[in-house]
Structure formats: structure tokens, C-alpha cells
Structure 1
Amino acid sequence: MQEKFHQPQMHADAQRRARDRVEWLLQQAGIGLNGSQPWDMQVHDEQLYSRILTQGTLGLGEAYMDGWWNCQRLDQFACRALRAELPRKVGFTWHDAGLVARALVSNLQSKARAGMVGERHYDLGNRLYECMLDSRMTYTCGYWREAADLEQAQEHKLDLVCRKLGLREGQRVLDIGCGWGSFAEFAARRYGVRVVGITISREQEELARQRCQGLPVEIRLQDYRDMRERFDHIVSLGMFEHVGWKNHRGYMQVVQRCLADDGLFLLHSIGVNRSGIRSDAWIDRHIFPNGNLPSVAQIGQAIEPDWVMEDWHNFGADYDRTLMAWHANFERRWGELAAHYDHRFYRMWRYYLLTCAGSFRARKNQLWQIVLSKGGVPGGYQAPR
């Protein structure tokens, strides 16, 4: 965890100007300072204002972790702030510039660096995710159409993926970024397929193997770039966000060489409305190091001209409900986790879940399921919903 932020005391007039600027910005989103609305910011340290103006979203998030401010409904705060484009209005900070420079100069998602997100996020402890997720530990967006709760939403999503691929008994399927084995187990049990799941997280590998014991499932600790076998179909749920803009094309080439000529590839990924090469500074430092959410244009460039895009399904609004359900589970079971994580982690994790829910509610982030084929499905592809 990062150490607490320390900042020299400002002169009273400079502090007042910073406060006035932040207050004016928040007013653009209908957010008040120390007000009575559930999305209002309750300030406990007057240095907060300059921290926001100099560090942007990184300063805002770390100040929350440090207890400098609170908000009754962080999800509503984030939704309003993002709809009003407040991060853009704050402006480009030195931290943002550093992220851009790093992304331009280095391949942040190279094979040598790929394990960082596994170690720092997915290996935080299986107990954390057991408490937060559904019983299958599915750490991707649920499909809430006709679902009453998180358990149903995740089962419906897994079944939707299987139906979109047209899985048949005996087929061999590759799951890139298999997590704790939820898709592999579901597809093997319900559809009788054989699955190879790959992950870069040691904790995921161990638990996924236990979960899929006795099924025709093989779980490997392996980078996607090392795959050279052929499969009837390929699926990737919530992993493309870690591939990086410099590797999109190479990723698609790996899938191309591993997919049977008449097979389908389903890509399930968070997406953004505007192309970029960096992640949010706070998310990059504390949640998903070296992440990079793709845009429509970036995915299009990566698949052209080798693929036929058979279906593009956006149900990003469902991620709001999924994240809120994860947050409810996390809060409800924090007592089981408190002995293993400190209070600053608690504030970090709830900030992560609730502000991400707000971003999907504001429609700044999307969730796409894209079905691709090599040469086009003869007669056309009929997309299940």
C-alpha cells in the first residue's frame, strides 16, 4: 500500500482559491461541499482542494483512502462527476503526463511485465473474492436480463457465452484469462466441452484446478502469447483490458493461429468511448497496474482485415448492478476480512467498486461481447440474447 500523502501547509489565500475552484467545479455536477445530499462531499482536511487540483483523480482517490473526505453515496458522486466531465475540467496533471510518457516509451503489458497485475490484484487473497463475488467467483459483468440476483446474472452470462459460441459436446475450447475457473467449469458441466484455461495468477490457477477437478478441464499458469494449439472455439472474459494498445494486434494474431477455421472467438471486454493509451492514474496505481481499456476504434484496427465481426453486444449498464452487488457483498462480509486487510484497504476497495459503478452508470465505460469469425459464418450468424 502507498504511504499517506503529506503536503506543505498552504497560505490561507491560496487555500481559499483552491477551495473556491473545487467548489465551482463540483457545482457543475450538482455536488455540494459539506451539504445534505447523499452525493455531496464531506471534507475533513482543507488541504484536499489543492490535492485535487494538482493530482487530479489520483489525488481525489488517495485523499479518500487517507480519510480527508467522505461521501454517503460514492457511486452517485462518481456518476455525477463523470457526466459533468469534471476530470477533464480539472485538467492534465503531471501524474497524467507521466502515465502517457510511460505508455509511449514502454510496452507496459509486455510478457515480462504481464504478471504484475496477477500479483498485485488477483493474488490479493482468494478469501477476498470469495466474500465479494458469486458462488462461482465470476469476476466479470453479469447479464441481468431476467435475473433476480447476482447468482442468476452470472449464470445467465456464462450460458449466454456458451450459446453465442454454439458449444457442442466434445468440442475443445480455450479460455484466455480463465480467472478462478467459472466459465471452464460451467461449460464443461453444462455443455460437455473440454476446456483449457490459462491465467497469470498463481492463486487463480490453484483454486481453478480445485474447482474443475474431475472435469475435462486443464488449468495452466501461462501467458497467452505462448499458446500454439488449435481449438474449436476461443473465449476471453475480462482479460483484454490487460493486453494494452501496443499488443492488441498481436493478441488477435495469437487467437487467429489457435482458432479452427470454422470456429468462433468471443471477446468480453470493458470498453471506453474515446481511444487512449493510459489508464486512470488512481486505478493504475492501486487497482489494475498497466491496464488499458480499449475503444471501438482500437478493437476495429486490431481485427482488420483478418476477422469478420459477427456480433457486437453492449450491456455495459449491467456492470453498474454487478459492481453494486459486489460492493454489498464486500460490506456485508467485511467482518470476515478485517483481520487480513487494514482500514485503508477497506476504503480503497469500496472506492474502487463504487466509483466504477458510477462510471458505468454515467455511460463512460461500456461492456462489450464481440463474436468474431475467420471468414464469416455461412448463411450469417444468429446472435442469441
Structure 2
Amino acid sequence: MADAAPRLTALAEELLGYPVPVRIRAWDGSEAGPPGAPTLVVRHRRALRRLLWRPGELGLVRAWVAGEIEIADSDLYEVLARLAGLLWERTPGSGEEDSTGSRIAALRDPRLRAAALELIALAGPGLPPAPPREEARRRRGVLHSPRRDRAAISHHYDVGNDFYELVLGPSMVYSCAYWDEGATLEDAQHAKLDLICRKLALKPGDRLLDVGCGWGSMVMHAAREYGVQAVGVTLSTEQAAYARKRIADAGLTDRIEVRVQDYRAVADGPYDAISSIGMAEHVGTASYREYATALHDLLKPGGRLLNHQIARRPVMDEETYHVDEFIDAYVFPDGELAPAGRTVSLLEEAGFEVRDLESIREHYALTLRQWVANLAAHWSEAVRLTSPGRARVWKLYMAASALSFERNRIGVNQILAVRTPDSGDSGVPLRARDWRG
């Protein structure tokens, strides 16, 4: 009898206390839920066991990465939006070591206990399924030590340059673009790089350090368009190899050096300017002051830093902040977000004078939706280059992130900071925002 979907829907509503916001299609072909609503397909009952052993976001994500649940491309954003309350506004769950039985015991209402037991029966017998192989494994070493940071960066960036080309397009810029009416992704990424160069007031002969240089797009733009001598540092060997080839092909090897190097090991200052674009999210709260001080000390007096960084909303009690389980396990191991105000304070404590902060939150939502479209258009090739699970990680991560930016759960800011000399002359024009062009 094909009745898994009606049973699952009824049990979920009993346990959640409100109607399931999507339609469910179960492994036995049955369907239930609001007519006309977007459909969540549960392909295997193993997905239920994942949720029983790890309720909430991480259980759902593991089922998604393993291919045990699916969402049609046309429904992806709507399903995520409808599940947002369940995923984003939940109370952080208990640890992985808690048993299913202990969770059931915590359900004091007899009806909820009965529903949970029926859900276990529907899920079928068995131990908790092993996490998909795309999940970051046990991490060794001190948090945000150079060795551990290298491993975290490798997990995220050494997926394959060919894969990133499919997603990012020819610009190979992996950070928020700067959009205008009718712009293409390439136009918007070019505009972002040029905006940063103008904010840094780059001119021929300046020394630029690009921290977390990725595939070399920023140093190439600055050298080609503004005549600087540039150094890019990254912890990803794949990125560095790709960037060096691009630089050689463009005839810019005399102006650009790319190193596989931790920013903490850079010792050839002073620089006239430093760009840090989408890198500071990897630094971590405890290490941020060290990061800010290191960059301050690498600048000459009057030198500028452009810090382009994702920020989260502040919470009433910062001690209760938890890193997103999905992002930490599958996307950015050990990555941390901080409120913009905290970032400004730490830059100031390191000696910087913060001269400008521009929020470009909506621009990142547009960028992510374009990356998702690129991935969908090249899905078969993306799977071939990586794995079905890795491609699914990226699809979910980018689509969910787009919604987070659109809903103001997270933002992204460009902060211009100056190592202002003792004379007080920052070098910033009275009407600094002429850089908008």
C-alpha cells in the first residue's frame, strides 16, 4: 500500500506543531501536502534515519548530498524559502552523540512520543547512515593555525579549477559582483574589481598585496589597468597554479607574483595598498585582531586596506552564536562570520582609521543566483568533474546563501581603512565617493 507520504506528512505536522509547507513525494510513489505547492521528493527512507539521528539542518543536508531527497530546479528557491523557518529559526540541536531514544524520552507529550515512535518505524531499522564523503572529516590541530587553515582552504578551493570555471564563468572571481542595469556577470565582476582599485587609489608603480588572491583576477586587473606591481597570496596550490598560468598567458609575469603563502608569513612590506576580498571569513573571531594587525603592519604610512567581507546580523548574546552546521561541515570548514560593527572595531583596535563602509548585500544575491544558473546549465559536466554529492553541495549552498542575502540574514561590506600617519593626513579626498564613477 503506497501511503508513506501521507503518513510522513501527518507525523511531521504532529511533531512540528504546524502544517508542512511543501508537498511530499515518498519513495513508494505516494504524495501528500498542499495542492500546487512545490514538491520535496524523499527518494529513500534512509533520509528519515538521518533526520532521526541528527534532527534539523545537518540531517536534511546529509540526505540531500547523498541524493536521498531532491527538489526540482524550478522549485529550489521556493522550497528553501518555505523551509526557512524550520532550518534557520530552530533551536540548535543536541550533539551527535545523543541517541534517538534519549530524544524520544525528552518528548513528554504522549502523542508526540507516539508520533516519534511511528516515524522510527517508517524509517526502518538500522544504525545512523555514515555521512556522505563530501563532508569535512575530523580536523586536527589548533583552530586557525596555519596548518589547519591550509587543510580547510584545500577542502573548499581544491575542488578543481575546471569546476570553478563552470560556476564562476570566465572572470574566475569568487566574490560578490557589483551590478548595474543590464549587466552580465562578467560586466559586474569587472566593475567590482575596478571599484576596489579606485577605492585603493592605485596608480602606476604602487605595490599591491592581494590576500587570498584566488585565481589571480584582482592582481591581473590592477596590474593591467592601473600599472601596479602586485603580489597575491593563497593557501590553495590549485588556485596558485591556475593564476600563474593566466598571468603568463597575459604577459604580466614581470608585474605579478603569486605565492602559496599564509598572510601571516608575508614579510616583504611595506605595501602601498592591500586588498582582501572574501578572505577574512576564513580568519576566525579569535584570530581577527592578529589578521588586522598583520595587514596594518604591512602597509606604509598612508597605505590603504580594502576589506571585502561577508557579515552576519548581531545577536543579543554573542556567546550563543553558532556557526552554521551545513556551511561548517560541507563548504567552509572553520569559517566564521562576524557583525560589521565588530569588524570595524577590530580594524580600529589594530591602528586603522576606517574611512568608508559600503554595504552591497543585494549585489551578492544577484551574483549567487547567476552562479546557480551557471551550475544548472552545466550540471552533467559539473558532476563529471567532481561528484554528484559535491555538485549538490554547491547547488544548495549557493541557492540558500542567495536567500540569506535577500532576507538580510547576512550581508557583505567593503570597508576602506587607512594606516593614517601621525600627521593625520589620510590622503582620502574630501569627497571620497568620487570612486563610484
TM value normalised by structure 1: 0.85
Task: Return the alpha-carbon distance in structure 1 between the equivalents of residues 220 and 191 of structure 2.
Answer: 14
Match of 2:235 among 166, 180, 200: 200
Q: Secondary structure at the match of 1:262?
A: strand
Q: Check the 8 A contact 1:278/1:291 in 2, yes or no.
A: no
Q: In structure 2, what is the Cα distance between the partners aligned to 1:17 and 1:314?
A: 43
Match of 2:354 in 1: 309
- Residue matched to 1:158: 193
* Pair 1:188 & 2:228 matched: no
Residue 153 of structure 1 and its aligned partner are, at CA, apart by 0.9
**2:27 is matched with which residue?**
none
User: Contact conserved, 2:56 with 2:87, CA < 8 A, in 1?
Assistant: no
Shift of 1:343: 2.2
Inter-partner Cα distance in structure 1 for 2:334 and 2:430: 38
2:42 maps to a residue whose letter is V
* Whole-angstrom distance in 2 between the partners of 1:344 and 1:86: 20
Cα contact 1:38–1:71 (8 A) shared by 2: no
Matched residue, 1:223: 262
Residue in structure 1 matched with residue 289 of structure 2 by the alignment: 249
**Alignment CA distance shift 1:303-1:78 (3 Å):** same
Q: Distance in 1 between matches of 2:427 and 2:69?
A: 54
State how far apart, in whole Å, the 1-side matches of 2:11 and 2:218 are.
49
Instruction: Quickly say closer, same or farther: Cα 1:278–1:115, change in 2 above 3 A.
Output: farther
Distance 1:336 1:71, change over 3 A: closer
Deviations 1:250-291 (A, max 9, x none): 000001100111111000011100266653111111111111
What is the DSSP-based 3-state SS (H/G/I as helix, E as strand, rest coil) of the residue aligned with 2:67? coil
Q: Does 1:63 align with 2:98?
A: no
2:129 aligned with 1:94, yes or no?
A: no
* CA drift at 1:52: 4.2
For residue 301 of structure 1, report the CA deviation from its aligned partner. Answer: 3.3
Of 159-168 and 59-68, deviating more is 59-68
Q: Which has the higher contact order (CA 8 A, sep 6+)?
A: 1
Paired position in structure 2 for 1:268: 308
1:209 matched to 2:244? The reply is yes
CA distance 1:36–1:360, change in 2 (3 Å): farther
User: In the aligned structure 1, how far is the partner of 2:396 from the partner of 2:340?
Assistant: 27
8 Å contact from structure 2 (residues 160, 385) kept in 1: no
Mapped to 1, the partners of 2:82 and 2:430 lie a distance apart of 41
Task: State the distance in 2 between where 1:382 and 1:88 align.
Answer: 40
Taking the aligned partners of 1:338 and 1:50, their CA distance within structure 2 comes to 26
Separation in 2, partners of 1:190, 1:22: 59
1:124-143 matches, within 5 Å, as 124-143=159-178
Give, in whole Å, the separation in 2 of the partners of 1:278 and 1:272. 11
- Map Cα deviations across residues 236-255 of structure 1 (whole Å, 9 max, x no partner): 01100100011100000001
Alpha-carbon distance in 2 for matches of 1:380, 1:95: 55
Give the 3-state SS of the residue equivalent to 1:67 in structure 2. Answer: coil
* CA distance 1:329–1:303, change in 2 (3 Å): same
Q: Which residue number corresponds to residue 340 of structure 2?
A: 296
* Worse overlay, 284-293 or 31-40: 31-40
What is the identity, as a one-letter code, of the residue corresponding to 1:20? Answer: E
Q: In the alignment, is the contact (CA less than 8 A) between 2:179 and 2:188 conserved in 1?
A: yes
Counterpart position of 2:366? 321
Q: Which runs of 5+ in 2 are unaligned?
A: 1-6, 25-32, 99-137, 421-425
Cα distance in structure 2, aligned partners of 1:41 and 1:196: 47
Q: Which amino acid aligns with 1:274?
A: P
Are the counterparts in 2 of residues 239 and 269 from structure 1 also a CA contact under 8 Å? yes
Q: In 2, Cα distance between the equivalents of 1:96 and 1:37? A: 39
Structure 1 residue 32 displacement after superposition: 5.1
**Higher mean displacement: 269-278 or 147-156:** 269-278
User: Is residue 270–residue 368 contact of structure 1 (8 Å, CA) maintained in 2?
Assistant: yes
Q: Do the aligned partners of residues 313 and 278 (structure 1) sit closer, same or farther apart at CA in structure 2, a change above 3 Å counting? A: same
**Alpha-carbon distance change, 91 to 285 in structure 1, aligned in 2, over 3 angstroms:** closer
Query: Please, which moves more after superposition, 352-361 or 120-129?
Result: 352-361
Matching residue of 2:104: none
Secondary structure of 2:230 counterpart = strand
- Counterpart CA distance in 2 for 1:15 and 1:81 is 16
How many Å separate the matches in 2 of 1:150 and 1:38? 31
Which ranges of structure 1 fall in alignment gaps of 5 or more residues? Answer: 1-13
Residue type at the aligned position of 1:312:
L
Residue 396 of structure 2 is aligned to residue 351 of structure 1: yes
Q: 1:222 and 1:284, CA in 2 relative to 1: closer, same or farther beyond 3 A? A: same
Per-residue CA distance 1:84-137 (angstroms, 9 max, x = gap): 47433344332599xxxx99xx85211121101222111111100011112120
Q: 1:19 pairs with 8, 12, 34, which one?
A: 12
Give the AA of the match of 1:338: V
> Secondary structure at 2:56's aligned position in 1?
helix
> Which of 146, 151, 160 matches 1:116?
151
- Separation (CA, whole Å) in 2 of partners of 1:96 and 1:349: 27
Indicate the larger mover: 161-170 or 370-379: 370-379
Which residue of the partner structure matches residue 3 of structure 1?
Answer: none
- Give the superposed CA RMSD: 2.9
Q: Assess if the C-alpha contact under 8 Å between 1:78 and 1:359 holds in 2.
A: no
Q: Which amino acid aligns with 2:77?
A: D
Relative to structure 1, the CA distance from residue 339 to residue 41 in structure 2 (aligned partners, 3 Å threshold; closer, same or farther) is closer
In structure 1, C-alpha distance between the alignment counterparts of 2:365 and 2:261, rounded to whole Å: 31
- After superposition, residues 1-20 of structure 1 pair within 5 angstroms as 19-20=12-13
- Distance (Å, rounded) in 1 between the aligned partners of 2:429 and 2:358: 20
Distance 1:378 1:151 in 2: 29
Q: 1:41 maps to what in 2?
A: 40
Indicate how the Cα distance of structure 1 residues 89 and 339 shifts in structure 2: closer, same or farther if over 3 A, else same. closer
2:177–2:364 CA contact under 8 A, matched in 1: yes
For the Cα contact (< 8 Å) 1:18–1:49, is it kept in 2?
A: no
Matched residues in 1 for 2:79 and 2:202: separation? Answer: 42
- Native 8 Å contact 1:177 1:237 kept in 2: yes
Residues in 2 aligned to 1:363 and 1:95: alpha-carbon distance in whole angstroms: 30
